[in-house]
Amino acid sequence: MKNVLITNAVPSNNGDAALVFSLYDSLKRKGFNVSIACQHYRLVKAIYENDYPIVSELAEGKLIKKVPYNKYLKPFLVPFLFLFNKSFRKADLVVSAPGGYMNSYYGFDKVLATLFIAKLFGKKTAIYAQSFGPLNYRDSKRLLFLSKYVDILMARDVFSTDVLRSIKIPSEKFKLVEDGAFLIPYKSVRSKEKKVAVSVRSWKHDGRDENHYVFMIKSFVEYLVSNGYSVEFLSTCQGLKEYRDDSLVAQEIFNQLEPSTKNSVVVNKNFYKLNDFLEYLSNFKLVIGTRLHMCITSMLRGIPSLNISYEVKGREVYNYLGLEDYTIDYNADVDTGMEALVKFIKDQELIADKLAILMPEQNRKANVFFEAFLRDLKV
């Protein structure tokens, strides 16, 4: 039996959990022995230790975290830590988790170091269903270097393949796929009640104006309530003190609402494990999602979702789904945003009917991409 290690996983965020656990389940069904190396190891293990084989990501130990400037030291520690980590040492395939972190916002030094060392140890290496870019000049060169030590890079949108092509990564090294969360089977749970889930997040890259965004969300909530909807702020990323918590942003927006509007709005601050989160979505008829996987997981549950795209990845997904009318920019003009919201509400039943056809097809395609992934790796 082949041993597979999924690395750089962050399933304390339900968007990442949807990506990582759906890949894990797909690999297990093929008979692989799979482990998941997580950032925030102690936090994730406490949540999921009875559900998944969680191991520590390299350089996640308490002592290392206490070292000053450990962020910069981690890539240099990886070669030594790899030798002493049984999960990494015994893996036949090391695959970097799906998501949207291969860009210059977050940095990917440790991912680079891990895959580089894994390849030197004779492992198969891959990056699965990932967004690539935007990249500065330095990171473009680093990713080009990394590509020489990765058997295949699977890019989840056209923007990403354009980035890879622009930095001269050979075309045989990468493939265009779609978002990894579509490996989750479709199941319609949409509520009939006039209840809307709204996910928000802070985003200050690319010169974004967060105050403008907050004003737009506030306008959306006021419009929804005035049209008979109740609103619940809910995110794939909330409820853990040790991690990012979008409910803090939601609370700030709630505090700015008129008292009459607040009566129909709640801020959900709870943490949900992934399956509980997917089940909880059955309370909603519509979703407005700033986090992309708030939208994707909701659509996989038959719930029409309006996307607020803070990065290019949101727009890219909605484009290939044929839902481009239902995504707006994080800093869209408020009038433009309101027009999109009004159209979204008007078209909700048409969207729901489309999702009933589209989402099972996305699941089928995701499994085709997964099979191609295994074939290309010859595992």
Q: Please state, in angstroms and rounded to a whole number, the distance separating the CA atoms of residues 4 and 123.
A: 10
Domain with CATH 3.40.50.2000 in the chain: 3-177, 195-358
pLDDT, one tens digit per residue, over 280-309 is 999 999 999 999 999 999 999 999 999 999
pLDDT per position as a tens digit, 34-73: 999 999 999 999 999 999 999 999 877 655 555 554 556 6
| Residue 300, helix vs strand vs coil | coil
- Do 8 and 291 form a contact (C-beta atoms < 8 A)? no
Contact 169, 189 (CB under 8 A): no
Question: Residue 272's pLDDT is what?
Answer: 98
Which overall architecture, per CATH, does domain 3-177 show?
3-Layer(aba) Sandwich (3.40)
Question: Pairing state of beta strands 33-38 and 265-267?
Answer: unpaired
Q: How far apart are CA 97 and CA 118, in angstroms?
A: 15
The pLDDT of residue 69 is 47
Q: What is the pLDDT of residue 379?
A: 85
- What is the pLDDT at residue 76? 72
pLDDT of residue 171: 95
Sequence-ordered list of residues with C-beta below 8 angstroms from that of 208, at least 6 positions apart, any chain: 310, 330, 331
Query: 266: part of which helix (H) or strand (E)?
Result: strand 265-267
DSSP per residue, 214-240: HHHHHHHHHHHHHTT-EEEE--SS-S-
CATH fold of 195-358 reads Rossmann fold (3.40.50)
Low-confidence ranges of the chain (pLDDT < 50): 69
